[in-house]
Chain A
């Protein structure tokens, strides 16, 4: 399935060098991340070494080389968020869902990441869950959004 999808995506490009970033973006939009195989195929398609594709994919913060959780939580690290308590919000989320920044849970439920700023500074501190920005975050809101998992009940074997 992945391969068909990749073929379909590549069919709408010419294979120019300047298309590398847009192709990686579209593949990631569809697959959630950049599987190794897709990068190999993209390298062939554009006619550049695999190492080039990898070097570009690993340079930009947007690209992920591992699968993501169903709920992607991004905590804004912008300046306004920082001085209005983003570090505490991040801390709280880390504790609640038991993940550190950059990690994905084994059951692929959550991915926790931070982003430089999504420009909602007037509503600081804010986070984004998948596509939705939630502003004026508080610890209470964290608990509402991510009900604490009770130890032992998390994985029902």
Chain B
């Protein structure tokens, strides 16, 4: 064997672990040590490789061989193949789904080659539990630059110039929010990272935290310096134990390296980060509810009119709240400059978007694409189309707050404004593909079941309105719908949208309104013909 240093990367995100990646990892470690190769071969833990469906995934570097669905029993052969001069194991290669042709390198697999991975670049490459690995790929260089060479005003200017818009769903310009927080005069301020990721069908924030937790910390520390806050907090949902564990390790290591704590990097800047685990409430992703839940209260949003969280937030102090991916973008912007970032994407939506691509699509996983790419490219080029030769019916973005985009609109560019225009939203990154076997009335019922359960109960339109909408939809799926129900749903939806206190209620009708707009025929089939065209609902026939 050559003396060249090799790495065997094993994807140990939640997806990988759930299909046995930990066993693969330990048997590889064992085999490499049995062969006395620990000097030359580094078996490395990484976060999610993104192609979740092919897990457990093993990558051999520097060649970039990509092994899919690896078994612990494959470890012996993998280790030997490296020992014997690097002839790869063809049987573990990813295969082109249609031709069955093996593709040895991940960079040639369309799922990867059609993406633009900047934020996810190091997810799946570095060991998330080892700060040195992050440092080797330039980690904390942006912090160094920000703290030692830039003033807070310059940083904010840079973030504004980049055009970055918040990736938590609403798309508010990040630089403006930072500036507003900086302008407040309070001594104590907070920087909070929103890692509640309550949208069912989304896991992109989890993957970033599991795969590259230091990038989030680095962004937050820069935000602390720029806004004048000393206290950082990450609000993670409790359903993400692995993300919590890796963040805790990362925080500890960052403290040891003096990236957190007092006099960071010898400067006058103090900043530290704590973790707060959410307790399972979708509404707590909303800024004021999130703040209240940290304060030990029920997570109920504050009614309007109210001050912005940026001015009066946690413990009534100015609070900067940004999404995980918004923070993770900051080191990239500071290192590469705002112009570099602003070149990507469209005029009004800069940078990239990260989606959890799931549902009825061949390649499920975590993807990163430039803003403005159309849905067709995502579903067919990256996603590999619809499995089983079925027809695409719709794409759902934005989770319970978003809408269903029909197949004939998949040339719509994916950016904040275009998606809003057609009744959906960008959301925080869930993208669920639906095929001809998916019933759109059932999908609408599903989302209203979700929002009705998650409504905090404080305002009537949301608490009772979503329940009413759910019951009407439930009747329709059972074959008990009445013709006037469709108009009633629209009327109710509009009323809930206008009169609810917070974003949960205001967006809850979206899945119903968009399916009624684009798939009215399916509602009609259930109501008039007592028939579910997709064969999902158990519609009761006859007049009982």
Contacts and interface: CB of A to CB of B under 8 A. Distances in A.
A10 interface: no
B412 interface: no
Contact of A133 (B14, B357, B396): B14
Contact of B200 (A20, A21, A117): A117
Contact of B396 (A17, A20, A22, A79): A79
A149 interface: no
Residue of A60, A132, A134 contacting most chain B CB atoms (<10 Å): A60
Contacts of B297: 56
A22 B276 contact: yes
Contact of B358 (A16, A18, A80): A80
A59 B201 contact: no
Nearest to B449: A77
B48 to A, nearest CB: 9
A62 B55 CA distance: 29
Interface string A48-62: 100000011001111
A66 interface: no
Contacts, number: 144
A117 B446 CA distance: 13
Contacts of A56: 296-298
Majority secondary structure of chain B interface residues (helix, strand, loop or mixed): mixed
A48 B298 CA distance: 14
B359 interface: yes
Contacts of B280: 60-62, 115-116
B188 interface: no
Interface in A10-55: 16-22, 24-25, 46, 48, 55
B198 interface: yes
Interface string B351-384: 0000011111000111000000000000000000
B202 A120 contact: no
Interface in B230-252: 238-241
Interface stretch (A92-100, A121-129, A139-147): A121-129
Which of A19, A22, A120, A122 is packed against the most chain B CB atoms within 10 Å? A122
Contacts of A79: 200-201, 358-359, 396, 399, 430, 432, 446-447
B279 interface: yes
B281 to A, nearest CB: 5
Given A18-B295, A122-B365, A82 B199 contact: no
Contacts of B200: 76-79, 116-117
Contacts of A25: 238, 277, 279
Contacts of A48: 296
Contacts of B238: 25, 62
A57 to B, nearest CB: 9
A83 B438 contact: yes
Contacts of A84: 359-360
B299 A117 contact: no
A64 to B, nearest CB: 11
A119 B358 contact: no
A61 B276 CA distance: 16
Binding site of A, secondary structure by majority: helix, strand, loop or mixed?
mixed
B450 A119 contact: no
Contact of B281 (A16, A19, A61): A61
Contact of B432 (A16, A83, A118, A134): A83
Nearest to A78: B200
A135 interface: yes
Given A119-B202, A120-B14, A77 B450 contact: yes
A119 B298 contact: no
Contacts of A135: 15, 18-19
A63 B315 CA distance: 24
Contact of A123 (B15, B201, B295): B15
A126 B15 CA distance: 10
Contacts of B456: 59
Contact of B277 (A22, A117, A122): A22
B279 A60 contact: yes
A87 to B, nearest CB: 9
A83 B53 contact: no
A63 B399 CA distance: 24
Contact of A60 (B15, B299, B446, B450): B299
Nearest to B294: A18
A122 B239 contact: no
A90 to B, nearest CB: 13
Interface string B1-39: 000000000000011011100000000000000000000
Contacts of B239: 115-119
A132 B203 CA distance: 17
B201 A80 contact: yes
A22 B52 CA distance: 31
A153 interface: no
Contact of B18 (A60, A61, A133): A133
A131 interface: yes
Contacts of B15: 120, 122-123, 135
A59 B298 contact: yes
Interface string B276-316: 11011110000000000111111100000000000000010
A22 B366 CA distance: 31
Contact of A80 (B19, B293, B295, B432): B432
Given A79-B359, A122-B52, A17 B295 contact: yes
Given A80-B432, A83-B432, A133-B14, A61 B279 contact: yes
Nearest to B396: A79
Instruction: Report the 7 A-B pairs with minimum CB-CB distance, sorted nearest first.
Output: A122-B52, A119-B203, A79-B201, A20-B296, A61-B280, A60-B279, A117-B200
5 contacts: A21-B296, A25-B277, A59-B281, A80-B359, A122-B365
Given A21-B294, A82-B446, A123-B53, 9 more contacts: A16-B296, A22-B277, A56-B297, A79-B447, A80-B201, A116-B280, A117-B198, A120-B203, A122-B53
